[in-house]
Structure 1
Amino acid sequence: MFQFKHFSIRQDRCPMKVGTDGVLLGAWADAGADARRILDVGTGTGLIALMLAQRTAALPGVRITGVDVDDVSQACENAAASPWAARVEFVQCPVQEYRPGERFDRIVSNPPYFVDSLTCPDAGRTTARHAVTLRYGELCDAVVRLLAPGGRFAVILPTAEAARFLAECRGRLVLCRRTDVRTTPRRETRRVLMEFRLFDAVPDPAAPPVCRRDELVVGTGAHECYTEEYRALTRDFYLKF
Structure 2
Amino acid sequence: MSKPFTFKQFTINQDRCAMKIGTDGVLLGAWTPLDHNPYSILDIGSGTGIIALMLAQRSAADNIEAIELDADAYEQCTENFEASDWADRLFCFHAGFDEFVDEYATDETEEDELYDLIVSNPPFYAEDVTSGNEARDNARQNTSLPFSELISGASKLLTSIGTFCTIIPFKEEEEFIKLAANYQLYPKQITRVKGNADAEVKRSLLEFTKKPSSNLKTEELVIEKDRHVYTENYTNLTRDFYLKM
TM norm. shorter chain > 0.5? yes
CA separation of 1:120/1:161 partners in 2, compared to 1, >3 Å: closer, same or farther? farther
Secondary structure of the structure 2 residue equivalent to 1:132? coil
Distance 2:128 2:191 in 1: 25
Letter of the structure 1 residue corresponding to residue 204 of structure 2: V
1:164 positional shift = 2.9
The aligned residue for residue 44 of structure 2 is 41
Q: How many correspondences in the alignment?
A: 230
The aligned residue for residue 176 of structure 1 is 188
Distance 1:69 1:211 in 2: 34
Contact 1:127 1:133 in 2 (8 A): yes
1:213 positional shift = 0.4
1:33 positional shift = 5.1
CA-to-aligned-CA distance 1:188-214 (integer Å, 9 cap, x gap):
10110000012xxx2xx6xx4221000
Distance 2:144 2:227 in 1: 37
1:97 positional shift = 1.2
Q: Which of 143, 151, 154 is the matching residue for 2:165?
A: 154
The aligned residue for residue 141 of structure 2 is 130
Distance 1:176 1:117 in 2: 32
CA-to-aligned-CA distance 1:53-79 (integer Å, 9 cap, x gap):
0001xx3x6210010111211011111
Distance 2:180 2:36 in 1: 26
The aligned residue for residue 140 of structure 1 is 151
Distance 1:115 1:144 in 2: 22
Q: Which of 72, 75, 86 is the matching residue for 1:73?
A: 75
Distance 2:129 2:78 in 1: 31
The aligned residue for residue 50 of structure 1 is 53
Q: Which of 202, 218, 222 is the matching residue for 1:217?
A: 222
Letter of the structure 2 residue corresponding to residue 52 of structure 1: L
The aligned residue for residue 209 of structure 2 is 197
Stretches of structure 2 lacking an aligned partner (at least 5 in a row) = none
Q: Which of 228, 231, 238 is the matching residue for 1:234?
A: 238
Contact 2:81 2:87 in 1 (8 A): yes
Distance 1:123 1:117 in 2: 11
1:117 positional shift = 4.2
Stretches of structure 1 lacking an aligned partner (at least 5 in a row) = none
Distance 1:14 1:162 in 2: 27
Contact 1:107 1:153 in 2 (8 A): yes
TM-score normalised to structure 2 length: 0.90
Distance 1:189 1:237 in 2: 24
Distance 2:37 2:56 in 1: 14
Identical positions, percent = 41
Q: Which of 188, 194, 201 is the matching residue for 2:200?
A: 188
Letter of the structure 1 residue corresponding to residue 44 of structure 2: V
RMSD of equivalent CA atoms? 1.4
CA separation of 1:209/1:31 partners in 2, compared to 1, >3 Å: closer, same or farther? same
Secondary structure of the structure 1 residue equivalent to 2:224? coil
Structure 2 counterparts to residues 87-102 of structure 1, below 5 A: 87-98=89-100, 99-100=103-104, 102=113
TM-score normalised to structure 1 length: 0.91
1:110 positional shift = 0.2
Q: Following TM superposition, where does structure 1 have runs of at least 4 consecutive aligned residues deviating by more than 6 angstroms?
A: none
Q: Which of 9, 12, 23 is the matching residue for 2:26?
A: 23
Secondary structure of the structure 2 residue equivalent to 1:150? strand
CA-to-aligned-CA distance 1:82-110 (integer Å, 9 cap, x gap):
11011000001111111345210000000
